[in-house]
Amino acid sequence: MNTLAQTRPDPPRGPAEPVFTDEDFACIARIAQREFGLSLPSAKKDLVQSRLMRRLRALGCADFAAYCARVDGPDGAEERAELVSALTTNVTHFFREAHHFRLLEEICLTPHLPALRAGRRLRLWSAGCSAGPEPYSMAMTVLAALPDAPRLNLRILATDIDPAILDRARSATYGSDEIRAIPEPLRRAHLEPAGPDRHRIVAGTAGRVHFAALNLMADWPLRGPFDAIFCRNVAIYFDKPTQERLWQRLARLLRPGGLLCIGHSERLHGPATGLVTSAGITAYRRNDPAHPLGERTDR
């Protein structure tokens, strides 16, 4: 036996982490549901604790009760934005679920090329755009189908609840590993060098996308109609009633024949199912209200 090991002092310990009580978790879950529609089941308690510890340290909060008081107080709007950023995951990449972009081309672009070249409006919405690969993929898809159109009546709206991630999206700059899914012809047409191992979406493409902060649980300053709405891997954070309300609101903003794409693990349910018809895997088209049996029109 090594007697030195018996007398060696214990290594110094850092300060103990604050206890995250059931009451603390219930408070966070209540705020997340009220403000953002997020559903936090008790099974996520440890995950919530680990993600919020950074915020406690940044703010100098002694415990979670103090943090709850701060985030739920009258001056807590800024911290509530930090809260939702900590609780949600911004995982996305270019041309994710590529079949949706093929449908965008086949449904919203190819049948209407003459009209679009003549100035017909095209309105697309990326709801929950994260760091920007989704709306920029939309822009590349449109411009690949219409390379001869010098001036398109095109607007791509990209919204997210997280101001920090929107700032990154607006920078339009990505690492080499982030652009791997972009087909090589589109890389050549829409990317330019931006430093070592960095690439920027060219201005003519990036300028087609307009970013804005939007809480999907709040009022929407949007009138539509949209030709396509991508709201993918957003509703997974919501409970079923909140999902149903969201699907219905989105469907009602589509033009007849317009395209709604949702995430691969999401399923449309509730009143929205009477407004749309399946168009493929996790993709739907808006029914023409003039035809109650669901016949579609591509006007």
Q: For 203-230, how does the pLDDT look when each residue is reduced to its tens digit (9 = 90+)?
A: 999 999 999 999 999 999 998 899 999 9
CB atoms within 10 A of CB 140: 24
160 included as an active-site residue: yes
Residue of 51, 70, 155, 249 with catalytic role: 51
- Amino acid identity, residue 285? R
How confident is the model at residue 296, as a pLDDT?
37
Q: What CA–CA distance (Å, rounded) separates 79 from 57?
A: 13
Q: For 181-196, how does the pLDDT look when each residue is reduced to its tens digit (9 = 90+)?
A: 999 999 999 999 999 9
The confidence band for 15, taking pLDDT boundaries of 50, 70 and 90, is low
How confident is the model at residue 148, as a pLDDT?
76
How confident is the model at residue 16, as a pLDDT?
67
239 included as an active-site residue: no
Q: What CA–CA distance (Å, rounded) separates 157 from 166?
A: 12
Q: For 129-154, how does the pLDDT look when each residue is reduced to its tens digit (9 = 90+)?
A: 999 999 999 999 999 999 876 688 99
User: What are the b/e assignments for 11-23, b being 16+ CB within 10 Å?
Assistant: eeeeeeebebeee
The confidence band for 295, taking pLDDT boundaries of 50, 70 and 90, is very low
Q: Which helix (H) or strand (E) holds 243?
A: helix 240-252
How confident is the model at residue 164, as a pLDDT?
87
Q: How far apart are the first and last CA of the chain?
A: 85
Q: HSE (CB half, 13 Å, CA atoms) of 289? A: 6
Interhelix angle 77-87/22-36, rounded to 10 degrees, is 100
Residue of 160, 208, 232, 255 with catalytic role: 160
For residue 7, pLDDT beyond 70? no
Q: For 65-79, how does the pLDDT look when each residue is reduced to its tens digit (9 = 90+)?
A: 999 999 999 988 889
For residue 199, pLDDT beyond 60? yes
Q: For 50-102, how does the pLDDT look when each residue is reduced to its tens digit (9 = 90+)?
A: 999 999 999 999 999 999 999 999 988 889 988 988 888 777 899 999 999 99
